[in-house]
Amino acid sequence: MIRNATTDDFSEIEKMASQFWPDAGFDVPYKEGSAMFYIKLAYNQSLLIVAEKDNELVGFAAGAKSPLMGNSDFTAGSELAWWVHPDHRGGKLGIQLLQGLEQAAKEAGCHYWSMIFMQSSMPDTIKGIYEKMGYKLQETTYMKRVK
């Protein structure tokens, strides 16, 4: 089942965020509690959803939104995290979670929505999913450590 997250879900979402962290591409360890800022931000913007199976959270998706820089009459949002526990991947749960996040974005007033994929986590599979769902490649991100 896909549903909006509640504040009661925050600790479980934070645990999932810590499991997601090794794939995020940073060379620093996960610091407990760090994801709470983003969890609360997504929740307060109505962009935090969870996947639940047998009364257990097995995935989550979070996003953030803001006015467009070039025209503040329009709102753009972006995924912050989209994660399903590895034991629950391969079926439709991940797609349902993504569709739930898109629906939440629409209901939150987003005109545009962006999804991200990491080179370290099934990039060809995720790219194929996005393209089938109507997303088009818009930009590429490079990262380096500066401090």
Q: What is the CATH number of the domain that holds 28?
A: 3.40.630.30
Largest CA distance in the chain: 45
Q: Which residue has the tokens 């753009």?
A: 76
Q: Which helix (DSSP H) or strand (DSSP E) does residue 128 occupy?
A: helix 123-132
What pLDDT is attached to residue 130?
A: 93
Q: What is the pLDDT of residues 94-115, one digit of tens each?
A: 999 999 999 999 999 999 999 9
Structural domain includes residue 77: yes
Residue 139 located in a structural domain:
no
137 assigned to some structural domain: no
Which domain does 124 fall in, by range?
2-132
Give the whole-angstrom CA distance, residue 123 versus residue 52: 25
In a domain, 140, yes or no: no
Q: What's the whole-number average pLDDT of the chain?
A: 94
Identify whether 61 is part of a domain. yes
111 within a domain of the structure (yes/no) = yes
* Residue from 102, 58, 95 nearest 79 by CA: 102
pTM for this prediction: 0.91
pLDDT tens digits for range 1-23: 999 999 999 999 999 999 989 88
Q: How many domains does the chain have?
A: 1
